[in-house]
Structure 1
């Protein structure tokens, strides 16, 4: 994420995968690398997927446990059992799970309250065919294990906002997940595709965002970081994009960055039409140990740069340890190094070599979890991480929790 250390009295109980690590490491012994079905596993998944009793332990924290039992939706008067009631109306620290497989067709965009986790593991949940998800002026939110697709534009209208307040919402373009003035957000293991506008927008001063283990496919405009060229508040934006799988049939914006800083590491790129990573308005990008597989025909260059003013923009685009196939190439900024955000030494983490990317991203997207699907493995590396400051991503922590 562009993720920072956070106050343990505020955010500790909203760790979807991290808060229960001590439960998950007690049954594991040691080895250098961890695998499921002979595949390398990334550091996020190592901390829970080896324990077949993950269902039992995922809600050991002191918060409101809410289960969705009803797939219907009412944008103004939601009823208990619906997703909107749990995500928008209940006030407090809420952990949402689902009773069974569901197809949820939202009448209006779902505005998620602060300190909410939506956990779709163990069932097959689709949010599709109309309005989709929005995080508006909210913080400390996790979205995990949801399929979001075929999202459509929405006309202005009234809707239940965060904390149950009815608000007027303007035009919505049809994104799968849109962040507006949001912070400390974790988007993990979701499958996003075929939406009217984009799959994930991080806009209007949003920052401290981790986008991990997702599968983005079948989309023209995939991911936008930064609202527009004139929104200078996005200079403070910090985002980590890690362990995601882009493709097939993704055309552009993986991501497209304005103003802020993005660390894009250990992702898999299965081709593009226009470009993979682009930007304008002096963005900073560190592309590290990704695998870029260029399309068989068409553009081979990974990057794209837009000049947004008469004096010309400057870009800081750097490639460190990336791997390129099918003639892919990366046009770096000449001289110097990309400006890093202010992360502490405890937030450092060595990015995995690009030769492991196929395996590390093989489980991207919604996982087919069950009570028996997780397998044990030997976890020397996991224990080392989980008993210190917990789980590390790229150059910083996803979350800091004091065990």
Structure 2
């Protein structure tokens, strides 16, 4: 069956999927924190250590001329080592870690091919546009068959159970409002450039197939997470937005922010609505394997209340501070590398924002196994804190080699990413997912055109049989 390039390509990998109903019933919008956040934190450490161990084994047993796949990054090692990953894209949903690891995204749903980069009508979006996809009620795995620059007129409001999967293409989202996740759950955003977002609004915007309404002016965040749970943002490159690059407020929880590249921005990330907003006390966010790069000033993140796990990130030369907070958040910093700027007055990693010294002494902020470079120091506090400032080179520098290894592929993969390439879609891809050309054939065009794909009937049959097996296993 030939699918025309001018139409939206929708195909089901799960016909009449009974088990999706169970999944959706189990994952409600009740913003309930994980009963044991320390257990989740230890799970991240366990998976990192296991991945690093596999990498070391591969290095010691590597044969001449071979290229070991394992990188030491447990997320990437989960899916990138599969040479057939383009035909098994939904495997990504099984690779999350940390507090956002339960985000299903569009797993089990249909694939939607974005074939139109326009955003002309925010009330009646066209088939083929990204806006049409994200407002749908059903689970969707959203992919891009070609490079695209999507210039939003106004904020892009997501519904629940969506995956934005930019692998195999060079996809940029810019313009008005950018991405809004408001009172939703189970969203995965992967491999997307998000930049130059600015305030917009005071107009009607559609948020579902059955509802549109007046939206006040947005803040101009890259990604705004508002009263939402089970959110995973992975391998994105974010920069140059009017307000925050990622802000999570109003009781949002169950969030993982991983493998991203942040640059050229002032207030990078805000976690928590206000010091006095009680629902944020249950907020749980994992910040892992990111590179906080050049021209960043502050808020990496800035935390209010909640439980924040900052693990194995690379922080390079902030201008004011890296990690700040108020309202007594719990900050668990493990295995990061903090490189201070040359400014002798900005060496401190931490900042208690607008809080007298006597008020924060009991806050639980800890630093374990962090590497402190160029005079950086982390002021710990609370139970079990060291009674001295941590200085540079105070722990085994071997950890720094792991940081290079784990964060080497931060940001968007492929063209436009850092030190890596995933290739691009072919026009003759089989099994409904498209293949990959050599990166030498990749162009920098960001057009909104689609492409021709062939859909094998056998894939639908196999997918249906797989779904039936899963369903029967649940009944037994």
Q: TM-score, normalised by structure 1?
A: 0.78
Q: Which residue of the partner structure matches residue 169 of structure 1?
A: 215
Say whether the 8 Å CA contact 1:100–1:123 is kept in structure 2.
yes
Task: Find the aligned partners of 1:236 and 1:34 in 2 and give their Cα distance.
Answer: 40
Task: Find the aligned partners of 1:98 and 1:63 in 2 and give their Cα distance.
Answer: 16
Task: Note the C-alpha offset of 1:129.
Answer: 3.1
Quick one: which of 75, 83, 86 aligns to 1:52? 83
Task: Note the C-alpha offset of 1:131.
Answer: 2.7
Quick one: which of 342, 355, 368 aligns to 1:320? 368
Say whether the 8 Å CA contact 1:13–1:62 is kept in structure 2.
no
Q: Which residue of the partner structure matches residue 69 of structure 1?
A: 115
Task: Find the aligned partners of 2:69 and 2:141 in 1 and give their Cα distance.
Answer: 32
1:287 aligns with 2:333: yes
Task: Find the aligned partners of 1:265 and 1:31 in 2 and give their Cα distance.
Answer: 19
Task: Find the aligned partners of 1:54 and 1:125 in 2 and give their Cα distance.
Answer: 19
Q: Secondary structure at the match of 1:77?
A: coil
1:202 aligns with 2:248: yes
- Once the two structures are superposed, the pairs formed by residues 24-63 of structure 1 within 5 Å of their partners are 32-33=56-57, 40-59=71-90, 62-63=108-109
Say whether the 8 Å CA contact 2:177–2:219 is kept in structure 1.
no
Say whether the 8 Å CA contact 2:55–2:71 is kept in structure 1.
no
- Once the two structures are superposed, the pairs formed by residues 121-200 of structure 1 within 5 Å of their partners are 121-162=167-208, 164-200=210-246
Shift of the 310–126 alpha-carbon distance from structure 1 to 2, 3 Å rule, reads same
Q: Which residue of the partner structure matches residue 253 of structure 1?
A: 299
Q: Which residue of the partner structure matches residue 37 of structure 2?
A: none
Task: Find the aligned partners of 2:325 and 2:438 in 1 and give their Cα distance.
Answer: 41
Say whether the 8 Å CA contact 1:288–1:321 is kept in structure 2.
yes
Shift of the 263–8 alpha-carbon distance from structure 1 to 2, 3 Å rule, reads farther
Task: Note the C-alpha offset of 1:168.
Answer: 2.4
Task: Find the aligned partners of 1:315 and 1:373 in 2 and give their Cα distance.
Answer: 52
Q: Secondary structure at the match of 2:403?
A: helix
Say whether the 8 Å CA contact 1:301–1:331 is kept in structure 2.
yes
Task: Find the aligned partners of 2:310 and 2:213 in 1 and give their Cα distance.
Answer: 35
1:242 aligns with 2:291: no
Q: Which residue of the partner structure matches residue 364 of structure 1?
A: 410
Task: Find the aligned partners of 1:272 and 1:183 in 2 and give their Cα distance.
Answer: 29
- Once the two structures are superposed, the pairs formed by residues 88-103 of structure 1 within 5 Å of their partners are 88=135, 90-103=136-149
Q: Which residue of the partner structure matches residue 267 of structure 1?
A: 313
Shift of the 155–308 alpha-carbon distance from structure 1 to 2, 3 Å rule, reads farther
Which contiguous aligned blocks of 4+ residues in structure 1 show a shift greater than 4 angstroms? 11-14, 30-39, 308-311
Say whether the 8 Å CA contact 1:69–1:98 is kept in structure 2.
yes
CA RMSD of aligned residues (A): 2.8
Q: Which structure is larger by alpha-carbon Rg, 1 or 2?
A: 2
Say whether the 8 Å CA contact 2:230–2:254 is kept in structure 1.
yes
Task: Note the C-alpha offset of 1:12.
Answer: 12
Task: Find the aligned partners of 1:34 and 1:125 in 2 and give their Cα distance.
Answer: 33
Task: Find the aligned partners of 2:116 and 2:81 in 1 and give their Cα distance.
Answer: 31
Task: Find the aligned partners of 1:99 and 1:122 in 2 and give their Cα distance.
Answer: 8
Task: Note the C-alpha offset of 1:47.
Answer: 1.2
Task: Note the C-alpha offset of 1:58.
Answer: 1.3
Task: Note the C-alpha offset of 1:312.
Answer: 3.2
Task: Find the aligned partners of 1:336 and 1:168 in 2 and give their Cα distance.
Answer: 50
Consecutive unaligned residues of structure 2, counting only runs of 5 or more, are 1-19, 28-53, 60-66, 92-106, 387-397, 415-421, 424-435, 440-473
1:9 aligns with 2:22: yes
Q: Secondary structure at the match of 1:47?
A: helix
Task: Find the aligned partners of 2:198 and 2:300 in 1 and give their Cα distance.
Answer: 21
Q: Secondary structure at the match of 2:132?
A: helix
Q: Deviations over 1:320-355 (max 9, x none)?
A: 1100111110000054379xxxxxxxxxxxxx9454
Q: Deviations over 1:225-244 (max 9, x none)?
A: 00122322100100000000
More RCO (CA 8 Å, sep 6+): 1
Q: Which has the higher helix share?
A: 2
Task: Find the aligned partners of 1:309 and 1:323 in 2 and give their Cα distance.
Answer: 28
